[in-house]
Amino acid sequence: MRRYFARKLLIYALTFVVAVTVNWMIPRFMPGDPVSAMVARARVSQPEAAEAMRSYYNNLFGFDEPLWQQYLHFWGALVRGDFGISIFVFPTPVGDVLLDALPYTLGLMIPAVLLSWFVGNWIGALSARRKVLDNTVLPAGYLLTAMPYMWIAVILAWALGAKAGWFPISGGYSLDIQPGWSAAFVLDALHHWVLPFLSLFLVALGGWAIGMRNMIIYELESDYASYLSALGAPQRLIRRYAFRNAVLPQVTGLALQLGVLVAGALVTEIVFAYPGLGSLILAAIQNQDFFLLQGAFLFIVIGVLIANFLIDIVYVVVDPRTRTGMAGGTS
Amino acid sequence: MTLTVNDLRVHYRTLRGEVRALDGVGFDLADGEILGLAGESGCGKTTLGKSLIRLDGRMRHAGGTVTLDGDELPLSDDRAMNAYRFHRISLVPQYSMSALNPTRRIGRMIRELLASRGVTVDTDELHRRLALVGLEPDVLDRYPIELSGGMKQRAVMVISTLLDPSVLIADEVTSALDVSNQQAVVGALTGLRDKGLVTSMIFVTHDLGLTSHIADSIMVMYAGKLAEKAPTKALTTGPRHPYTKMLIGSLPQVGARHKDRPLSGIEGSPPSLLNPPAGCRFRDRCPLADSGCAEEPPVVEVAPRHTVACWKAA
Amino acid sequence: MSTLPDPAPEAPSAEAPVAEPGRESLHYAVRNPKLIIGVSLVAILLAVGAIGPVLLGDGNPNEYVGPQAAAPDGTYWMGTTTFGQDVYAQFVHGLRATFLVGVVGGAIAAVIAMLVGFLAGYRGGVTDEILNMLTNVVLVIPALAVLLIINAYMGVRSVAVQGLFIGLTSWPWAARAIRAQTFSLRTREFVDLARLSGSGTWRIVFREIAPNMSSYLFMMFILLFGGSILIASSLDFIGLGPTEGVSLGLMLQSAQQWSALQLGMWWWFVPPGAGITAIVGALYVANVGLDEVFNPKLRES
């Protein structure tokens, strides 16, 4: 088990280094002269912002320094938590801008991911090898999982928001309410939260349900299931084992799907102008705010790494084989 | 008689029609007898083993009866068969290495399996039986992945025989093992019978050499039918059916494996069982065949407990 | 879902290394409703994407041709945008771009996944360790985040380059699956035989191993194809799509940007999303159908 975690941590450390390096390399090795191109493309109204941007970029890129020194400086700034200054909300540090948006993204993603996972697995398990359910769950699941996140968001916003008028379709809270811990604000925020949550939840739900259904069918065809059948064990026991074992790849699947789920959250936020990382990224792109964009990239990478590690812990809990010291589970 | 099989017919449904994998097979299994069931791959021996305990989705019981200790088995009724499975007829499958749920400790799996059949575990007895096949009691606290292939196989043997079945079907249990493990498994199986934990046994294999070490009698099948059945000694020393003769003639030293390959010593291959030709099914490969073989040979007893289906054997 | 279930190895026996005669697969293929529905739908959409623009005279789909913000009618089948662009013209051109990005992204990812997966699985040892580490690292980095940065710094973007970068970031799960399959195949007798007869690594991989998992590889390509389309549409939607031309994702983006939702112009945002959903969904359903064709255990008995 110690080896398992040591290996995982090594991979995550390596991943982080690679991500930071990619983040550092892209502006330097893309064709063209990034500084002038960016400053020119940035439609910054305040002259001091443009000046800060130019000097910061020059400082950051430090073209007079050797590359390795530029690279070390980049890491140094990162370790100090310095992601640069945002152009879009000049002169707030990028770190602060991102931290303000983070709770909205997490508040949207964590419930949507966890709930869709549990409910999806449950529906999938029910439908496996039950003809009537399977014939409804399977097509519905494929339809949902094939939908681009932003499209289901737009459709929900249109049907339940614009047409039915049940839910607001824009923002994280009403503009006339002061954000805080008042009951009015919380209720209002929840009201704004429903549609983006539902969009994320539904698409992910389809994927989990299908995954579980397919896994269970494979498990029911496995050798241990045949053996139990040959010994006359009731279907109940066999299905229980099959479910238990089919959950394992679904846990791994959760880790594999994190990137897709993050992407889904980002575009969903954009549809609803929800004040999380996705809307920030859109603003950063529209305002050519590269510090903000690169900061958001690192935030997402760090978030995904942490989530991966948590899933690893869960995996150790649910797959006994990882605890036996034998090479069980996935590496 | 523990088991009486009478004109059993089991067909596989395929695209091109029904394959008559078992086309009228009859034999008896005496109390305490270990019957070796041998033949090339596709001769129906595995189908026979499966038919006695659980037909899979593509198999159809097309006729004949199986009587176990006086009760006729409801072969085609999957639910009704449950009453017999494990309690009275049990199986050590070909896939023993992967027959245990990978995420359950073996002891817990056994408890849950037994509970589902309405039996409680007698821990002492379980330990005793594990010791019988050379396993420590602590395997019960382990996951299957922690056991070697041979250990898993022996654990499965213990589990399958926990309820002292009348008949145990051991399906190709040695084919995945090396020679020394083969001997150990064969020894353990014989021990189970000698201790009375199972009454009788059907030992399915393509390895005639190994069969002769364990079996009291051997039944050779060919193309879905019985070719010859006799006490081991009689069959190995005085085979009557040309196919058996050729099998024994092409027999390498004891324990070597054939790997389900068409026997190199016999030219040709068995006929398709989709629309098997009339008459003796071996006649295309048989050096003795003549026009008389176009008629189906009856199964005749040529000596006490020695039956052969061949016109030339009498 | 981009996870294939662990396939029951296509366990052909030692004497018959090449999987079940193609005739039987074909028999099931033409009788499998999922496969038929999926393939037909993809074929229809592909045909619309291929022929539609030609029928419209291959004009620029972003030109302002009609009345502004008109609902669908006989002339403009899918209505027009706020600027008077023909939504149907954009849709058929967008289908082209969507298929293109799927093929480019899916093919590049499949090639990388096969190179990495075969090599790691067949060679084992240090090669495997290194490639496995690489796979895991790329697997953990969220592809979309990398693509965001790359595309943001790229001044001019084309569909093909978008596909290229999607392919470069979306191969790891497939490589992992191929590695596992190769691992289980490399100890089979027919591979030993080839090795004994002195064949080189790649010869064995492509002559002995790959044919034995061809159906699996094909299904994997389908999933990579669908995945590329979804990622590309997200990128387009965020505003990092191709700078020239039109794609289904870009249509959604401009519908969003110009408040089609608030204006109730459903004909602007429904078709592109429905198009993506139909392509990806049909691919997935066809994939299940294929799985049932190739894997007898899954056929309903």
Chain A CA closest to residue B146: A326
- By the 8 A CB rule, do C116 and C175 touch? yes
Residue of chain C whose alpha carbon sits nearest to that of B41: C13
Which pTM does this prediction carry?
Answer: 0.84
pLDDT band at A60 (very low <50, low <70, confident <90, very high): low
Q: Name which of C200, C150, C297, B311 is nearest A27 in CA terms.
A: C150
- pLDDT tens for each residue of C206-252: 888 888 888 888 889 999 999 999 999 999 998 888 888 888 999 99
Contact call for residues A297 and C145 (beta carbons, < 8 A):
yes
pLDDT beyond 90 at B239: no
Task: Kindly indicate the confidence band of residue C17, based on its pLDDT and cuts at 50, 70 and 90.
Answer: very low
Pick from B15, B58, B261: which is nearest to C15 by CB?
A: B261
Q: What is the pLDDT of residues C69-112, one digit of tens each?
A: 777 777 777 778 777 788 888 898 899 999 999 999 999 999 99
* Mean pLDDT score, C128-144: 88
* Average pLDDT in chain A: 84
| Nearest residue on chain B to C16, alpha-carbon basis | B261
The pLDDT score that the predictor gives to residue C33 is: 85
CA atoms within 13 A of residue A79's CA, in its CB half-sphere: 7
The pLDDT > 70 percentage for chain B reads: 94
Amino acid identity, position B273? L
Query: Cβ of B100 under 8 Å from any chain A Cβ?
Result: yes
- Position C9 confidence tier, pLDDT thresholds 50, 70, 90: very low
A48-58 pLDDT tens trace: 676 776 676 66
A169 touches C: beta carbon within 8 Å: yes
Given the structure tokens 């939840």, which residue do they identify? A201
> Are B145 and A234 inside 8 Å of each other by CB?
no
Mean pLDDT (whole number) for C192-205? 78
- Cβ(C96)–Cβ(C53) below 8 Å: yes
Q: Is the pLDDT of residue C13 over 70?
A: no
Predicted confidence at residue A167, as pLDDT, reads 87
Omega within 30 of 0 (cis) for the link into A91: yes
Residue C190: enclosing H or E segment and its boundaries?
Answer: helix C189-196
d(CA C104, CA C114): 15
Distance from the B57 Cα atom to the nearest Cα atom in chain C, whole angstroms: 6
Identify the band that residue A64 occupies on the pLDDT scale cut at 50, 70 and 90. low
The per-residue pLDDT for B224 is 87
Query: Strands B3-14 and B59-68: what pairing?
Result: antiparallel
Q: Which residues of C touch chain B, with CB atoms under 8 Å apart?
A: 13-15, 24, 27, 301
What b/e readout covers C176-200, taking b as 16+ CB neighbours within 10 angstroms?
Answer: bbbbbbbeebbebebbeebeeeeee
DSSP 8-class letter at B70: T
Kindly tell me if the per-residue pLDDT of C32 is higher than 80. yes
Q: In this structure, are strands B89-92 and B306-308 parallel, antiparallel, or unpaired?
A: unpaired
The pLDDT of residue A331: 37
Q: What is the mean pLDDT of residues C157-185?
A: 89
pLDDT tens digits for range A186-228? 888 898 999 999 999 999 999 999 999 988 988 988 999 999 9
Spatial distance between the Cα atoms of C242 and C249, rounded to a whole number of angstroms: 10
* Residue in chain A lying closest to C129 (CA): A331
Which has the closest alpha carbon to B280: B218, B226, B235, B208?
B226
Q: Which helix (H) or strand (E) holds B8?
A: strand B3-14
- In this structure, are residues A92 and A77 in contact, taking their beta carbons and an 8 Å threshold? no
Interchain pair A244, B95: CB under 8 A: no
Split at pLDDT 50, 70, 90, the class of C175 is very high
CA distance C301 to chain B (A): 6
A210 near C CB under 8 A: yes
Structure-token pair, residue C259: 């408040």
- Give per-residue pLDDT as tens, B112-135: 999 999 888 889 999 999 998 889
Look up the ipTM and state it: 0.89
pLDDT at A40: 63
Q: Any idea of the CA torsion for B147, B153, B159, B163, to the nearest 10 degrees?
A: -160
> How far does the CA of residue C21 sit from the closest CA of chain A (Å)?
23
pLDDT tens-digit map of B79-110: 899 999 999 999 999 888 889 999 999 999 99
Taking the CA of residue C198 and the nearest CA in chain A, the distance in Å comes to 32
With beta carbons under 8 A apart, name residues in chain C contacting B274: none
Q: What values do phi and psi take at B149, rounded to 5?
A: -55, -45
Q: What would the pLDDT profile of B194-228 be if each residue is shown by its tens digit? A: 998 999 999 998 888 888 888 999 999 988 888 89
Give per-residue pLDDT as tens, A253-306: 998 888 889 999 999 999 999 999 999 988 888 877 778 888 898 899 999 999
Q: Which amino acid is at B173?
A: V
Q: Chain A residues with CB inside 8 Å of B105's CB? A: 320
Q: Are C298 and C291 in contact (CB under 8 A)?
A: yes
Q: Which one of A23-37, A45-59, A61-75, B139-153 scores highest in mean pLDDT?
A: B139-153
